[in-house]
Structure 1
Amino acid sequence: MRLTAEEAYRRFADNAFAAAFSICRDKTDADDAVHDTFIKYISKNMDYNDEEHIKAWLLRTAINRAKDFTRSFARKNSVPWEDYMDELEFAAPEDSELFEAVMKLPDKYRIVIHLFYYEEQSITEISKTLKRREGTVKSQLSRGRALLKEMLTEEWNND
């Protein structure tokens, strides 16, 4: 199975952007990672099992590209993710607080939390996407939740 580039972009670009942004925390780098991902999708004449396989491949590629950007020299001169908070729209004020807390997590927890809650991937799917053992994904998810709970509890107690 293969979707046209336009159809794949229409369906999965937002997911790829969100995953890339959760890694690099920079709008421009996330956009670049998504564009690079879809260029690779177009140039790679690969057949996929189904739409979920396409989505997983696009997410994994966007995540890898975003990681490349975080290691780059230009990354040291980028604008912090906090500067984009005014541009983002949230349904409720709590969503903004939760997003900020998630973005403050270490990378290994943040991407697992993102894939599980925002992309609604199962432990098995995350394991395949990130090429990590399921036990590792479970423990990172558990530790990420604990850190989030701790951060949010502190914030609520301070209010």
Structure 2
Amino acid sequence: MDDIYKRNVEMIYRICFMYLKNSTDSEDAVQSIFLKLLKSNTSFADPEHEKAWLIVMTRNYCKDILKSWWRTRKVELARLPEAVWRDDGDRSGEVLDQLLALPDKYKIVLYLYYFEEYSVREIANMLIRKESTIQTQLAKGRTLMKLSLGGHYDK
């Protein structure tokens, strides 16, 4: 269990942060997800199966939190806290802010494709969507990111 935690904790935190948009809720979600894993006694065929299972579990858990009675009635902070995993490049904070502002269906697909380096087929299997849907969401997400960044991004 310790090895699974060490291999996946940062990725799980980043996915939680993308959905929940604050570090406190994200840390709580990470703890809950690993607790569920511990209680489930799930065995994995390989590290990729493990990673895919955790990503799907994380997505579902975060969506459940966002639908909860408490979450829908509490006041959100106007500004997101600084993420600990941000790069300190010139515009990386701006890119992250724009990514977090995208609708969930684009945000998670872009994250899995660019940050976790999953293929379109792997993302489609994890999110239980057609490959063509994932490709469309990637294209639309890229367009939205480009527009929100002023039409271009030069790093």
| Pair in the same fold by TM > 0.5 | yes
Structure 1: segments with no counterpart, 5+ residues: none
Following superposition, the deviation at residue 129 of structure 1 comes to: 1.4
Following superposition, the deviation at residue 59 of structure 1 comes to: 1.1
Structure 1 residue aligned with 2:44: 48
User: Are the equivalent residues in 2 in contact too, given 1:21–1:27 (CA < 8 A)?
Assistant: yes
**1:11-68, CA deviations, whole angstroms, 9 ceiling, x for partnerless residues?**
1011011111111212222222211211111111222121011011111101111111
1:127 aligns with 2:124: yes
Structure 2 residue aligned with 1:110: 107
1:73 aligns with 2:69: yes
Superposition pairs of residues 1-159 of structure 1, within 5 angstroms: 5-75=1-71, 76-77=73-74, 79-80=76-77, 82-85=79-82, 89-153=86-150
Following superposition, the deviation at residue 78 of structure 1 comes to: 5.3
CA distance in 1, matches of 2:132, 2:152: 30
Q: RMSD over aligned Cα, in angstroms?
A: 2.0
CA distance in 2, matches of 1:116, 1:78: 32
CA distance in 2, matches of 1:113, 1:89: 16
CA distance in 1, matches of 2:113, 2:76: 27
CA distance in 1, matches of 2:135, 2:89: 29
CA distance in 1, matches of 2:79, 2:152: 17
Q: Secondary structure at the match of 1:93?
A: coil
User: Are the equivalent residues in 2 in contact too, given 1:29–1:66 (CA < 8 A)?
Assistant: no
TM-score w.r.t. length of structure 1: 0.86
Following superposition, the deviation at residue 81 of structure 1 comes to: 7.6
Moved more, 23-32 or 136-145: 23-32
TM-score w.r.t. length of structure 2: 0.88
**1:104-139, CA deviations, whole angstroms, 9 ceiling, x for partnerless residues?**
111110111111111111111111111111111111
User: Are the equivalent residues in 1 in contact too, given 2:15–2:59 (CA < 8 A)?
Assistant: yes
Between Structure 1 and Structure 2, the one with more helix by share is 1
Structure 2: segments with no counterpart, 5+ residues: none
CA distance in 1, matches of 2:131, 2:34: 28
Q: Which residue identity does 1:90 align to in structure 2?
A: D
Q: Secondary structure at the match of 1:62?
A: helix
Following superposition, the deviation at residue 87 of structure 1 comes to: 5.6
